[in-house]
Amino acid sequence: MLQSREITEENLNNVPKILIPQTHGFESPIDVAEAIEEYLNLPTKLQMKFLHSGQVLLYPPDQDTFSAIMEIGEIHGIPVQLKTTSHGESTHLARGVLDLSFTSTNIAQNATWTTHPYLVSDHFATCIKIHKLAKPKHNPRRNTRKAEWSLFRKTLAEHLNNTPRAENLNLLEQRLTTAFHTAANKTIPLTKEAKQHYKD
């Protein structure tokens, strides 16, 4: 009888548990458990606990069996659900679904996110794998803190005095832009490449 396998949770609080709910298409959660055992062809019976709600808790003996049961649920539509491994009553019985997470742009392009295979509670445990990151291209900017502003103004004035004033608006804009670039190149140094590429 399946009831002979009923156990207590006293020594099993820290192992992953799988919940079999009452579902359509099966007479009872026990039938689901028997279908899983038959499909896996396990050498020993799965340990179970019968809940007052009519649901059944399965205690897989190892991680491989645990993963196989979850895979059966996904492939064959057998209604198995994850139950939290923490003490107390879980608020999420279903398997975790990654909703929203944040990271910097460079890391986001080289990372993958998954939920932990069995750690489930109000907030799902998230596993992030960061692949080898490419060194970002250095785009230097003007280091205005080290600018020589008096020389900048002098260079700007000299450049404008030495170039003819244009009547055409586009040429006038080009003249001013060239003057500013000339003064900046002479008096405002560029930032150096940072030793630390990522704040993360």
Q: Rounded to two decimals, what is the model's pTM?
A: 0.34
Residue-wise pLDDT for 92-119, tens only, equals 444 445 556 666 766 666 677 666 655 5
Pairwise CA distance, residues 168 & 157, whole Å? 20
Pairwise CA distance, residues 96 & 81, whole Å? 10
Output the average pLDDT for the chain: 68
Q: Please report which confidence band the pLDDT of residue 162 belongs to, taking 50, 70 and 90 as the band edges.
A: very high
Pairwise CA distance, residues 77 & 178, whole Å? 69
In the chain, the domains with their CATH numbers are 2-83 (3.30.70), 144-187 (no CATH)
Q: What angle do CA 86, 94, 10 make, to 5 degrees?
A: 30
- Average confidence (pLDDT) over 111-130: 62
- Average confidence (pLDDT) over 114-128: 59
Residue-wise pLDDT for 40-71, tens only, equals 777 667 776 666 666 666 667 676 777 777 77
Alpha-carbon separation of residue 128 from 9, 102, 113 (angstroms): 31, 11, 5
Q: Please report which confidence band the pLDDT of residue 85 belongs to, taking 50, 70 and 90 as the band edges.
A: very low
Which of 4-8, 95-99, 110-114, 155-159: highest mean pLDDT?
155-159
Alpha-carbon separation of residue 79 from 25, 26, 31, 37, 127 (angstroms): 10, 9, 11, 14, 25
Residue 67: CA atoms inside 13 Å, Cβ hemisphere, count?
5
Q: What angle do CA 14, 80, 78 make, to 5 degrees?
A: 155
Can you give the pLDDT at residue 12?
A: 40
Tell me, what amino acid is at 131?
H
